[in-house]
Structure 1
Amino acid sequence: MVPSRIKVSLFLIPAIVIGLFETLRHTLLENILPTELGNWVTACIDAGVIALVARKLFLAYAKKEQELSQEKASRAVLEERERLARVLHDQIAQSIFYAGVQVTAAKTMCLDHADKTLAHNLNDVLLSLREIDENVRQAIFNLKHNTMEGANLEDRIRTFLEKTLSGNDIAWDFQVARSVGQLSPAEQVQLFGILQESITNVVKHARATQVTVTFSADEENSGHWSFMIQDNGIGFNTDAVRDGRYGLDIIASRARDIAATLTIQSRHGDTRLHIRR
């Protein structure tokens, strides 16, 4: 029932009910129900009917108020994400680009003066700047493409895999044994962040041709689930987790934030990053 209909009902239903009761009271119940007691019964019936009808109205208004509050919070987050994206683009990304131009010019001068050692070092700086630039632009993309509303988590994962992996000629598969919609908002945010960090590592370092992402959950306990990212790349030394390489320390921190455990197994042709709760 829409709020406008509830408002009309709030006026009509009590009047109709009281009118019917008063009619019965003064006809069939005239000799049974004393006048004073009848007045109290009428008042109780009136209060009860109004309470029942108004309850739906109050619930509808409470729901609408909650929706408006959530929309306001989401809008505030979107505005902040847009502001951060502008800061990254206008200040950091432009500064990195300018630094790259300056280093390129310096490298050219070194080659002109036959200083190959310095030119080689400057080339390493250029490669680092390009990697930083890619990371910043990826961060800008993530900020501009909202991950809070619109498509659900499954659709966001598929869109991200399509853009990131298909764009780099890497085949991928996303297997969902049970909907990820059962996850809390915090879990969804952290898992998507883990996915982004992991796939970025795969593209940059793994030389993989196939990536499989799998989500499954316990049928009896929705709080128990498993999220795994697997690739067929060259693998890496899992001790790198303790050395803070490849962003694995960030992944581990994200897993801890949602009380999940992180397991990494890697060998040539089979690397698996497993998040369990």
Structure 2
Amino acid sequence: MDNPKKDGRIKWLILLIPTLTIGLWEYVRHAFLLPYMSMGLGNFLAPFIVLAVTLTVVRGLFGRLEQSQRALQREKESNASLEERERLARELHDGISQSLFLLAVKLDQLDELVAQGPVKPLAEGLRETVRVMHEDVRQAIASLRQPPSPAEAAWVVPMRELLGETAGIAEATAEFNWSIPDGGLTDKEKVELHACVREALINVRKHAKASRVNVIGEPDGANGFRCSVEDDGAGFSADPLNAPGRFGLRIARDRALAMGWTFQAERRGSRTVIELRKPGKESAHAR
């Protein structure tokens, strides 16, 4: 990493330039200006010359140092985010994924022991549930271990691809409208927003039976956004955040609230809407 070396050179320049300026001024004054300038006037002008150099050269160096420090901080935050994703992927693989695989093996053994009878439909239902859960965990691990590229807005691509997969499984029409500026979100916000949208799309895939699915992301005031997953499916028979088995939406809600966002899952006319919102400064004042 070149930043520490570069920052070290800048710091040394900041320390040395005032000293070099005084030395150069004294040399020029004694070598060339002494016949034309008194000692008192030269001493009077010296601090003003140092101040002028400080306001121009040294101030610019301070700006470059601050810019370098901000870039280093962003890189540290990005690395921390990637390390957290890898840790989560490792925990999913070593824990839940292997446990689900073992449970599937046990169900196969149960199915062989009970070829007929009332236990067989139960075993088949359990096996299908395990299969769906295992696929969800596998996709989560793959998503965590293949983080979005640092290229601008590339982190949005996995959401678009997940929407396409969801629409393909549900045999639905998909629409992706995204205008949230990349620079308006921190790395942490991108990770959390991606996770919440993913949970919402998984909910659509499992429960909605929709013919149309939309993902919308748009700015909302200064540094704010509104993101929603909408479908024309069956909707919620009750409060989805309290329904048994709807752990994904509850996890998404908790993630959103932990970030200081709002989270809604409701029926709006013929559409089911799962919405996350981070109010921006302008919209917050308006409300």
Q: Provide the TM-score with structure 2 as the length reference.
A: 0.73
Is the CA contact 1:215–1:228 (under 8 Å) kept in the aligned structure 2?
yes
CA spacing shift, 1:216–1:50, aligned 2, 3 Å: closer
Q: CA deviation at 1:24?
A: 7.4
- Range moving further from structure 2, 162-171 or 35-44: 162-171
1:205-245 CA distances to partner (integer Å, 9 max, x unpaired)?
A: 21223211223334xx3255432221122222142323354
- How is 1:90-169 mapped onto 2 (pairs within 5 angstroms)? 90-111=94-115, 114=116, 116-147=117-148, 149-152=150-153, 153-166=155-168, 169=171
Residue identity (%): 27
Match of 2:210?
Answer: 208
- How is 1:184-195 mapped onto 2 (pairs within 5 angstroms)? 184-195=186-197
1:91-138 CA distances to partner (integer Å, 9 max, x unpaired)?
A: 432332232122112212111xx4x11222222221222122122112
Q: CA deviation at 1:196?
A: 0.6
Match of 1:227?
Answer: 227
CA spacing shift, 1:237–1:167, aligned 2, 3 Å: closer
Q: Provide the TM-score with structure 1 as the length reference.
A: 0.76
Is the CA contact 1:261–1:275 (under 8 Å) kept in the aligned structure 2?
yes
Is the CA contact 2:217–2:227 (under 8 Å) kept in the aligned structure 1?
yes
CA spacing shift, 1:17–1:203, aligned 2, 3 Å: farther
Count residues in correspondence: 267
Is the CA contact 1:236–1:267 (under 8 Å) kept in the aligned structure 2?
no
Match of 2:257?
Answer: 256
CA spacing shift, 1:268–1:103, aligned 2, 3 Å: farther
Aligned residue identity for 1:243:
A
Distance 1:260 1:77 in 2: 19
Q: CA deviation at 1:167?
A: 6.4
Query: Aligned match of 1:45 in 44, 49, 56?
Result: 49
Is the CA contact 1:21–1:42 (under 8 Å) kept in the aligned structure 2?
no
Is the CA contact 1:18–1:46 (under 8 Å) kept in the aligned structure 2?
no
Is the CA contact 1:173–1:212 (under 8 Å) kept in the aligned structure 2?
yes
Q: CA deviation at 1:202?
A: 0.8
1:10-54 CA distances to partner (integer Å, 9 max, x unpaired)?
A: 59x947777767777446x43xxx312313423541354256423
Q: CA deviation at 1:141?
A: 1.7
CA spacing shift, 1:203–1:78, aligned 2, 3 Å: same
- 1:239 corresponds to 2:243: no
- Range moving further from structure 2, 63-72 or 137-146: 63-72
Q: CA deviation at 1:253?
A: 2.3
Is the CA contact 1:265–1:273 (under 8 Å) kept in the aligned structure 2?
yes
Is the CA contact 1:207–1:233 (under 8 Å) kept in the aligned structure 2?
yes
Distance 1:79 1:184 in 2: 16
Q: CA deviation at 1:265?
A: 3.2
Is the CA contact 1:238–1:264 (under 8 Å) kept in the aligned structure 2?
no
CA spacing shift, 1:169–1:77, aligned 2, 3 Å: same
CA spacing shift, 1:256–1:126, aligned 2, 3 Å: same
CA spacing shift, 1:136–1:168, aligned 2, 3 Å: same
Match of 2:285?
Answer: none
Of structures 1 and 2, the larger Rg is shown by 1
Unaligned ranges ≥5, structure 1: none
1:233-269 CA distances to partner (integer Å, 9 max, x unpaired)?
A: 2222142323354333223323323444333333896
Match of 1:197?
Answer: 199
